[in-house]
Amino acid sequence: MNASLAPKEGKPLYSLLMQKLLKKMASSMKPDERLPAEREISLQYGVSRATVRQALAALERMGRIYRVQGRGTFVSPQKVHQGLPGFYSFSTAMKKLGKTPLSLVLSFSEREAEEYLAEKLKVHPGLPIYQILRLRLADNEPMLLETSYLPVERFPGLTKQALEESTMYRLFRSRYGVEINHAIEAFQSVQTDARTAQYLGMSRAVPSLRIERFTYERGRIIEYTESFARGDQFVYTVRLEPSAKEEFS
Amino acid sequence: MNASLAPKEGKPLYSLLMQKLLKKMASSMKPDERLPAEREISLQYGVSRATVRQALAALERMGRIYRVQGRGTFVSPQKVHQGLPGFYSFSTAMKKLGKTPLSLVLSFSEREAEEYLAEKLKVHPGLPIYQILRLRLADNEPMLLETSYLPVERFPGLTKQALEESTMYRLFRSRYGVEINHAIEAFQSVQTDARTAQYLGMSRAVPSLRIERFTYERGRIIEYTESFARGDQFVYTVRLEPSAKEEFS
DNA sequence: TAGTGGTCTAGACCACAAA
DNA sequence: TTGTGGTCTAGACCACTAA
């Protein structure tokens, strides 16, 4: 089965190979089944072994395969948590759960960063920032109240309309060419305040999950979001990878 | 400054190069300063460009550098969140905060997985598992109540003593050669139950942060932990990386 | 011993950014 | 146009696993 890779437009070879392998695993392979050896894949698809390894490394980071030196490369058996975005997106998470996500932009304004915010965003106080208040619903049930802060200089010309028409991260990518390196999130369980209780339509007796997110591009914070989720409905899931730092233990 | 790499025992070249670059950045470089070009580093240290790229890729994943095509590789300016383990460890997190961590093993037992647990661990009901109840303290203040479940077959001969003498993850590595691929964590805000309130020494009026962790090795769950943290003291922080999946959007 | 993944080399061309 | 990171090749040797 010498399935050489079609030279699709623009996409690098290792990316095309990833898709081929994903398709193959989904359609004809079982959990823990061994994939062909790297040199074998290299021959089958007519690419170099380095390219094969680049594709396999990405699949390994996605948790779709695991490799054992001396034995081979195998299909990961997990099912439930598969494909969870390392990066949380309310929209995609809700779709995976079979719910219809909805996002309402409650307010959109421009202001200057006061001390507190400037420290969060690691910018100088007084820098112009957008403040965006959004209510996120799943099947028309309020789930999450989000307040996002973005430096104006990184997102010039951002409007409420644009946010309502697309998701924030899609907008980041398509219109501002944002390349996220990583994000830091912090979780805390808190008593629900009156405003949040009202927006989420619940009693203050129900505790809230407070989520802070710092999004980094080129080592710089380009988004700070503080969210409150209703504790009785909302479970927030993340996927972690061991830091490369463990190499130095 | 032709600092060729000393052939240290065992460690691969790219790992040695990482350490050299980290040291150089820490001692003599400023945020956003440009590193030498890849080809230049390759010459300076006498290694191939592929090896340089392997080292830089790891540093990029750690958030220590960022790369811009056509421009160069730069030192990340962040300070506060730097070096946060992608992987949460209570002990290291507390040390970073300048607090003294303490871990008490309250109980250690072996049992068979009932339906509920078997589903969490994705094993057959009836499989022998360890159940470990631990209380984690920072500066002698109770912070976290953890219940961990491990399949006995993966950790034969595990004892309470061993757990008390070392941290769990250190034990995993040194004694059982565990190679963690990734972990999934889920967060939820809940009302504190009586037992947790008692162990954590707080009122039930304070909400708790419920944390579930599924740790994966070779695509298989080797640890399931359910934790409760006191909401008024404990903030749980994680570091995320965008999933490779975004390539397919 | 044979086969696997892990590391490394030397070189090439491409896409992008800045002067 | 020059220099950068991004992709890719062909080949080599090492470390580990299993027969």
Residue A241, token pair as written in the block:
């990878």
Per DSSP, the three-state class of B69 is coil
- Where do the domains of chain B lie? 13-75, 80-238
Q: Which nucleotide is nearest to B16 (CA to C1')?
A: C7
Within 8 A of A77 by CB-CB distance, chain B residues are: 122, 219-220
The mean per-residue pLDDT over the stretch B95-122 comes to 91
pLDDT at A2 over 50: no
Whether the beta carbon of B70 falls within 7 A of nucleic chain C: the reply is yes
For residue range B192-210, list pLDDT tens digits in order.
999 999 999 999 999 999 9
pLDDT, position A86: 57
pLDDT, position A245: 40
Q: Which residues pair with A107 in a beta bridge?
A: A133
Out of B65, B180, B237, closest to residue A186 by CB: B237
CB contact under 8 A, B182 and A240: yes
pLDDT, position A4: 56
Instruction: Give the residue among B241, B49, B161 at the shortest CA–CA distance from A179.
Output: B241
pLDDT at A241 over 90: no
Those residues with Cβ within 8 angstroms of residue B18's Cβ, 6 or more apart along the chain or in another chain: A244, A247, B55, B58, B59
For residue range B160-172, list pLDDT tens digits in order.
999 988 888 888 8
SS (H, E, C) A46-58: CCCHHHHHHHHHH
pLDDT, position A6: 53
For residue range A82-135, list pLDDT tens digits in order.
444 556 678 777 877 788 888 999 999 999 999 999 999 989 999 999 999 999
| B13-75 CATH pick, 3.30.70.580, 1.10.10.10, 3.30.1490.150, 1.20.1090.10 | 1.10.10.10
pLDDT, position B219: 84
Within 8 A of A226 by CB-CB distance, chain B residues are: none
Among A30-39, A187-196, B81-90, B206-215, where is mean pLDDT lowest?
B81-90
Fold classification of B80-238 is Chorismate lyase (3.40.1410)
- Minimum distance, in Å, between the CA of residue A218 and any CA atom of chain B: 5
* A147 vs A177: CA distance, rounded Å: 22
CB contact under 8 A, A218 and B66: yes
The mean per-residue pLDDT over the stretch B42-52 comes to 94
